[in-house]
């Protein structure tokens, strides 16, 4: 029923890879090329570039050009929520269409299950908001 897209999974893996630069001795430079991330995480470089571009456009990454260019986190991983990441790649989480558009349901205001769907959305948003990229590293 509910699933996390491959794009979101790959985006999170790429961000975790970059976040390790904050805490690990295995990554001396926080700027990493897309190709290095793709190779380490076993992701198609072309597909990953699109994901990294979305994350950069959302302000979660900084892209540095030049000979020593690549990507780095725009801020500490402890301040980047999982909700920000998922929404940057997938848009707002909506279990069903009526969550934000009451007129999308023929029952309108009389739709009793809508309260359930709103509660589910709130639960998912709350959970993702309470978890950061750093939490993944620390788990």
Structural domains of the chain, ranges and CATH numbers in brackets: 6-92+132-138 (1.10.10.10)
- Which region, left, alpha or beta, applies to residue 21 given φ > 0 means left and ψ of -120 to 50 means alpha? alpha
Q: What is the pLDDT of residues 96-110, one digit of tens each?
A: 877 776 666 666 666
Interacting residues of 64 by C-beta distance below 8 A, sequence separation 6+: 31, 70, 71, 72
Task: Report the percentage of the chain scoring pLDDT > 70.
Answer: 86
> How many residues would you count in the chain?
139
Mean pLDDT of 42-50: 97
Query: What pTM value is reported for the model?
Result: 0.86
Burial class (CB in 10 A: 0-12, 13-18, 19+), 70: buried
- In the predicted model, what is the mean pLDDT of the chain? 88
Taking 70 as the threshold, does the pLDDT of residue 112 lie above it? yes
Q: In the chain, what's the furthest Cα-to-Cα distance?
A: 60
Taking 70 as the threshold, does the pLDDT of residue 56 lie above it? yes
| DSSP symbol at 103 | G
């Amino acid at each position: 029923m509910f699933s996390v897209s491959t794009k979101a999974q790959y985006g999170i893996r790429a961000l975790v890879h970059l976040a390790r630069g904050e805490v690990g001795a295995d990554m001396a430079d926080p700027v990493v090329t897309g190709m290095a991330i793709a190779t380490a995480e076993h992701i198609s470089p072309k597909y990953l570039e699109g994901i990294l571009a979305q994350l950069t456009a959302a302000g979660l990454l900084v892209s540095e050009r030049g000979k020593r260019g690549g990507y780095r986190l725009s801020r500490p991983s402890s301040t980047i929520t999982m909700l920000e990441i998922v929404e940057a790649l997938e848009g707002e989480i909506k279990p069903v269409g009526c969550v934000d558009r009451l007129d999308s349901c023929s029952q309108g205001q009389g739709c009793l299950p809508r309260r359930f769907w709103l509660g589910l959305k709130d639960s998912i948003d709350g959970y993702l908001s309470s978890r950061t990229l750093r939490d993944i590293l620390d788990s």
